[in-house]
Copies of this chain bind each other. A is one copy, B any other.
Amino acid sequence: MLKFFFSPGSCALASRIALEEAGAEYEAVRLNFAANEQRKPEYLKINPKGRVPALVTDRGILTETPAILAFVAQSFPKARLAPLDDPFGFARVQAFNSYLCSTVHVAHAHRMRGYRWADDPVALADMKRKVPQTVGECYELIEREMIQGPWVMGEAYTIGDPYLFTLARWLKGDGIDVARFPKIHDHMRRMQERPAVKNSLTGETA
**How would residues 62 to 97 of chain A score, 1 for a CB under 8 Å from any chain B CB and 0 otherwise?**
111111101100110000000000011011101101
Question: Chain B residues with Cβ under 8 A from A91's Cβ?
Answer: 62, 67-68, 70-71, 74
Q: Is A173 part of the contact surface with B, judged by Cβ < 8 Å?
A: no
Question: Chain B residues with Cβ under 8 A from A99's Cβ?
Answer: 49, 63-64
State the A residues within 8 Å of B (CB).
48-49, 57, 59-60, 62-68, 70-71, 74-75, 87-88, 90-92, 94-95, 97-99, 101-103, 105-107, 110, 116-120, 122-123, 126-127, 130, 134, 141, 144-145
In the complex, the chain B residue whose C-beta lies closest to that of A87 is B74
Interface CB pairs A-B, < 8 A, 25:
A57-B88, A60-B88, A62-B88, A62-B92, A64-B95, A67-B94, A67-B98, A70-B87, A74-B90, A75-B88, A101-B102, A107-B116, A107-B117, A110-B117, A117-B127, A117-B134, A118-B123, A118-B126, A118-B127, A120-B122, A120-B126, A122-B126, A123-B123, A123-B126, A123-B127
Cross-interface CB contact of A130 among B59, B92, B106, B118, cutoff 8 Å:
B118
Tell me the bound Cα distance from A77 to B205 in angstroms.
Answer: 44
